Amino acid sequence: MKSLSELREEIDRIDREILALLNRRARLAQEVGEIKKKKGLPFYVPGREAKILSKLEEINQGPLPPESIRAIFREIISACRALEEPTKVAFLGPQATFTHLAALKHFGTSSDLRPMDSIQEVFDEVEKGRVDYGVVPIENSIEGIVNYTIDMFLDTDLKISGEIFVSVNLHLMSKEAELSKVKKVYSHRHAIAQARKWLSENLPKIEVEEVSSTAKAAELASREPGTAAIASEAAALLYDLNILAKNIQELSKNFTRFLVIGKTDSEFPSGRDKTSVMFSTKHVAGALFKALQPFAVYDVNLSKIESRPTKKKPWEYVFFVDIEGHRKEDRVAKALEELKETCSFFKILGSYPAGFKE
């Protein structure tokens, strides 16, 4: 058995080897950068980066888990890319918010992250070319879609080049200082569902009322004595509530999803992609059903469908659909082609590597 100091010497030796390889990798990345500059190619190729990560995960024999490999290589890739010029990323600010965490998680610490005051401003910065990418929230696994972001895609030609998940914990909060004083619990029905086990074990005989959002629940709890809300810490802070129990959601975590927007999508399939499309059908019975048929025919999974009224005509809807697969995959391309034919309006928002829930 080796001694502590022998093991440490070996670790130091390995670290020096890793350092040398990192710098060799960086020099190669610089050469890649020069070629790209000459040819006018983009520096950041999300599909290639996702593929690098997924290939490494495949051959990874451990003991390091895939999420650690991803975290380490995200920093390596971010650092090599920054040698050319740090990737400029606008995000919905202020600093130190969930969107900031999402941008860090995706682009690494060696990027130039710039907080913006509004989702609109993030889109503007990307459109005007002042930044390379933007990061905006798109949905929360509890509250659902961020309509403002969805609507922006109606007014712009920007594409989606990535998605990011960041976990958000749920807590029981109240103006009351003790759990025994709580006679009623408010929350969004998804949050209630996620906390059902905890509620049945800890507050079995308490009335539970569904409201439109966890923020609304927190607001009600701040006004009505004897009530509590299931919501995030941010809500507890905003409405000055006491957190009576932490992390009461089931194992399936609560995530907020963010989109990376840019002038192009992720053209290069990574092998684990999603594609987002936007379309309108004629306002006739069964139109949506018919529109979605190609996905069934070509065995393409729908991971999400949302509808939003258009601003132009009453009762005219735009549908936003996320599907599994890349637009360059055969079955996906065929399904999209057929869908397009049934639509009065059709736009591919982009194909991009699927995010990791971790």
Does 178 bind a second copy (CB under 8 A)? Our answer is no
Q: Comparing C-alpha atoms, which of 94, 99, 71 is closest to residue 166?
A: 99
Mark the segment that binds a second copy (CB under 8 A) among 150-158, 210-218, 230-238, 257-265: 230-238
Nearer to a second copy, 68 or 252 (CB): 68
Does 10 bind a second copy (CB under 8 A)? Our answer is yes
Q: Would you give the distance in Å from CA 1 to the centre of its chain?
A: 46
- Which one of 200, 237, 282, 305 is in contact with a second copy (CB under 8 A)? 237
Does 196 bind a second copy (CB under 8 A)? Our answer is no
Long-range contacts at 306-311 (CB < 8 A, ≥ 24 apart)? 306/145, 306/150, 308/147, 308/150, 308/151, 310/154, 310/280, 311/154
Residue 256 catalytic? yes
Q: How many CA atoms lie within 13 A of 59 on its CB side?
A: 5
- CA gyration radius for the chain? 24
Does 168 bind a second copy (CB under 8 A)? Our answer is yes
Does 21 bind a second copy (CB under 8 A)? Our answer is yes
Q: Which amino acid is at 290?
A: K
Q: Comparing C-alpha atoms, which of 97, 129, 126, 91 is closest to residue 111?
A: 91
Does 115 bind a second copy (CB under 8 A)? Our answer is yes
Q: Which of 91, 107, 153, 258 is labelled catalytic?
A: 258
Mark the segment that binds a second copy (CB under 8 A) among 21-29, 141-149, 181-189, 296-304: 21-29
Does 8 bind a second copy (CB under 8 A)? Our answer is yes
- Residues 29 and 73: their CA atoms lie apart, in Å, by 14
Give the footprint of a second copy on residues 67-106 (CB under 8 A). Answer: 67-69, 71-76, 78-80, 82-83, 93-98, 100-101, 104-105
Does 209 bind a second copy (CB under 8 A)? Our answer is no
Mark the segment that binds a second copy (CB under 8 A) among 58-66, 123-131, 314-322, 349-357: 58-66
Question: Which positions ≥6 away from 260 have C-beta within 8 Å?
Answer: 46, 106, 133, 134, 135, 160, 161, 162, 163, 164, 352
- Which one of 124, 127, 224, 233 is in contact with a second copy (CB under 8 A)? 233
Nearer to a second copy, 88 or 100 (CB): 100
Give the footprint of a second copy on residues 239-278 (CB under 8 A). Answer: 242-243
Give the contact letters, 23-52, x = binds to a second copy (CB under 8 A), - = no: xxxxxxxxxx--xx-----------x---x
CB of 343 to a second copy, least distance (A): 37
Burial 16-39 (b: 16+ CB within 10 A, else e): eeeeeeeeeeeeebeebbeeeeee
Using CB atoms within 10 A of its CB, is residue 358 exposed (0-12), middle (13-18) or buried (19+)?
A: middle
Count CB-CB contacts under 10 A for residue 112. 14
Structure-token pair, residue 79: 């650092």
CB of 2 to a second copy, least distance (A): 7
Does 305 bind a second copy (CB under 8 A)? Our answer is no
Does 15 bind a second copy (CB under 8 A)? Our answer is yes
CB of 249 to a second copy, least distance (A): 14
Mark the segment that binds a second copy (CB under 8 A) among 57-65, 146-154, 221-229, 294-302: 57-65
Burial 288-310 (b: 16+ CB within 10 A, else e): beebbebbeebebeeeeebebee
- Which one of 54, 56, 288, 334 is in contact with a second copy (CB under 8 A)? 56
Catalogue the active-site residues. 256, 258
